[in-house]
Amino acid sequence: MPLEIRQVRGLRELREFVALPYRLHAGTPWIPPLKLERYLFLLQPFNAYFKHGDAAYYLAHRDGRVVGRISAQIDHAYNEFHSNRWGMFGFLDFEEDQEVLDALLAAAENWLRTRGCDRMVGPMDFALNEESGVVIEGFGLEPLIRQPWHPPYYQQKCEAAGLTKAMDLFSWGLDVGKRETLLPIIPEIAEQAHTKHGITIRKMTRRSLRRDLDEFAKVYNAAWSRNWGFVPLSKEDLDEMALNYQLVFDGDWFMIAEDATGTVAAAITIPDINQVLKKMNGRLLPLGWWHYLNKYKIIDRLRVGFLGVLPEYQHTGVAAQLYMEHFEVAARTHRKYGEAGWILESNRAMNRGLEAMGGKIVKRYRVYERLLNPGAA
């Protein structure tokens, strides 16, 4: 049967767009997100991304059935910060059929090209801090919150389609219940951050979360600014983060490091709500809400999503101080395992630090690119 690619128009097709991975990945390690959350994430009025970005969604149909999906998007904040004309693609799911993937990529490329983009990068679900990359290692492991999962054929088909590697992302597994895995120098450096440089750690609270995220953004927008794929956090982004983090907030794991001048570093570690979502199976009813209310008992693993230091404080040992606080918290709670990442393969300092903490790379994701203008740099 002929393949048809159609841009999503209306609620019925949006439902098909959301539904595809639930069918395609049933019975795999993939964990279904809450469907209501996915609808809100994709709808312009409910996602801060659309304050600085545009997007289109496409479905591949064959014989009356949805066989693939993709988004094409332009983050104007990203392009303005980096002075380029990149476009992105994301929400990539498709049956094991090269023709389907080729046609989806062509649709995204055409949408981006007609809007002046000279490069297509992805997959990323709007932005790199959301689900990004194609899984190339760790297929047998469950994804943690905001981690993608794909079967092995995704990598094979993407590379057969002519996409080339732009960047690999690492997820490091850490047992923060085992201090003996640390290099002995780490606790010593952490102690010096306090005794020599006067840095202390305080915890964020629910009540102060939005204000503390402003402090976090000062660190993020300075510490990550030279990273590949970086986009500065806007007020609207932080407003949305505050709302989302209220749903998973745990005061043990949201940290600010300060000296007499103010905030110098921050770490945000998220209890892995995917363990709850697995029981909810994408639905609040009939019993999904009950699992959510019991999330503290269910969740025993973590995703270390952000840990950053202002550039002028990177010599102080405050990163080690934040690492050690994670081990201290783990010693008094039931949450012992975590994954740190993603981490750019090019971020040598962070990768060395995680190795010094006894971490091991457990998952790898590949972000691809395609030049839309042969003369693009």
Q: Is residue 377 part of a domain?
A: no
| Residue ranges of E strands in the chain | 3-7, 53-62, 65-75, 86-94, 119-122, 134-137, 164-175, 200-203, 254-259, 262-271, 301-309, 337-344, 360-371
Domain identity same for 165 and 271: no
Structural domain ending residue among the three candidates 169, 194, 210: 169
Q: Containing domain of residue 21, as a range?
A: 3-169
Q: Is residue 374 part of a domain?
A: no
Q: How far apart are CA 363 and CA 172, in angstroms?
A: 7
Asked whether the beta carbons of 85 and 92 are under 8 A apart, the reply is no
Structural domain ending residue among the three candidates 169, 184, 205: 169
Over residues 135-194, the pLDDT tens digits come to 999 999 999 999 999 999 999 999 999 999 999 999 999 888 777 777 888 899 999 999
Over residues 308-349, the pLDDT tens digits come to 999 999 999 999 999 999 989 988 888 889 999 899 999 998
Quote the Cα angle for 96-102-107, to 5°: 125
Q: Is residue 216 part of a domain?
A: yes
In this structure, the strands spanning 301-309 and 337-344 are parallel
Summary mean pLDDT of the chain: 93
Domain identity same for 132 and 159: yes
pLDDT reported for residue 375: 55
Residue 271, strand partner residues: 302
Q: Which helix (H) or strand (E) holds 161?
A: none
Domain identity same for 162 and 230: no
Structural domain ending residue among the three candidates 152, 169, 186: 169
Q: What is the CATH number of the domain that holds 229?
A: 3.40.630.30
pLDDT reported for residue 92: 98
Asked whether the beta carbons of 193 and 201 are under 8 A apart, the reply is no
Domain identity same for 199 and 160: no
pLDDT reported for residue 286: 78
- Of 273, 281, 248, nearest in space to 32 by CA: 281
Cis before 342 (ω within 30): yes
Q: Is residue 376 part of a domain?
A: no
CA dihedral 22, 27, 30, 32 (to 10 degrees): 40
Q: Is 55 helix (H, G, I), strand (E, B) or coil?
A: strand
Tell me the CA distances in angstroms from 78 to 92, 141, 222, 231, one per residue in order: 21, 31, 15, 5
pTM over 0.85: yes
- Of 312, 176, 329, nearest in space to 254 by CA: 329
Q: Which two tokens stand for residue 34?
A: 């809450």
Please count the helices (runs of H) and the strands (runs of E) in the chain: 13, 13
Domain identity same for 344 and 236: yes
Report how many domains make up the chain: 2
Tell me the CA distances in angstroms from 135 to 144, 265, 338, 342, one per residue in order: 13, 30, 18, 12
Residue 309, strand partner residues: 265
Q: Is residue 247 part of a domain?
A: yes
Residues of the chain below pLDDT 70: 374-377
pLDDT reported for residue 281: 85
